[in-house]
Structure 1
Amino acid sequence: MKITVSRNGPYIVTGKVPLIVSEICDDEEGYCRDWLEVKRYPLKERYALCRCGHSKNKPFCDGTHTKIHFDGTETGDYKPYTEGVNIISGPVLTLTDNKHLCVHAEFCLRAGGIWKLVRQSDDPEARNTAIEEARNCPSGRLVILDNATEKAIEPELEKSIVVVEYPPRDEHGPLWVRGGIPIESADGKKYEIRNRVTLCRCGKSKNKPFCDGSHIER
Structure 2
Amino acid sequence: MTMSRTDALVTVTPGGPYMVTGGVPLATLTILTDAEGESETWTRGDALPTPAKYALCRCGQSARKPFCDGTHTGIDFDGTETASRASYLEQAKVFDGPVLALMDAEKLCAFGRFCDPHGQVWNQVAHSDDPEAKAMFLQQVGNCPAGRLVAWDKVSGTVVEPSLPVSIGMVEDPAEECSGPLALQGGIAVIASDGFTYEVRNRVTLCRCGESRNKPFCDGTHAAIKFKADYPVTESPTA
Partner of 1:27: 34
Distance 2:90 2:170 in 1: 27
Partner of 2:156: 149
List runs of 5+ in structure 2 lacking aligned partners. 1-7, 226-239
Distance 1:38 1:159 in 2: 15
| Cα shift readout 1:48-100 (whole Å, capped 9, x = no counterpart) | 00000011111111111011131101111211000131111111111111111
Partner of 2:104: 97
Counterpart of 1:4, as a letter, is T
Partner of 1:199: 206
Counterpart of 2:157, as a letter, is E
Listed as ranges, the matches of 1:168-187 within 5 Å are 168-187=175-194
User: 1:36 aligned to 2:31?
Assistant: no
Partner of 1:53: 60
Listed as ranges, the matches of 1:120-131 within 5 Å are 120-131=127-138
| Cα shift readout 1:31-52 (whole Å, capped 9, x = no counterpart) | 1010001231114211100000
**Aligned-pair CA distance for 1:26:** 0.2
TM-score, normalising length: structure 1: 0.97
Partner of 2:237: none
TM-score, normalising length: structure 2: 0.89
User: 1:72 aligned to 2:76?
Assistant: no
| Cα shift readout 1:167-186 (whole Å, capped 9, x = no counterpart) | 12212100001111111111
Counterpart of 2:92, as a letter, is V
Distance 1:211 1:135 in 2: 18
Distance 2:189 2:92 in 1: 22
Counterpart of 2:104, as a letter, is D
- Pairwise CA RMSD of aligned residues? 1.1
Counterpart of 1:88, as a letter, is F
User: Does structure 2 retain, via aligned residues, the 8 Å contact 1:22–1:39?
Assistant: no
Q: Secondary structure at the match of 2:32?
A: strand
Distance 2:63 2:46 in 1: 19
**Aligned-pair CA distance for 1:151:** 1.0
Q: Secondary structure at the match of 1:174?
A: strand
Distance 2:146 2:30 in 1: 15
Structure 1 counterpart of 2:126, from 119, 122, 132 = 119
Counterpart of 1:167, as a letter, is P
Counterpart of 1:61, as a letter, is C
Distance 2:186 2:130 in 1: 30
Structure 1 counterpart of 2:115, from 100, 108, 115 = 108
- How many percent of aligned residue pairs carry the same amino acid? 49
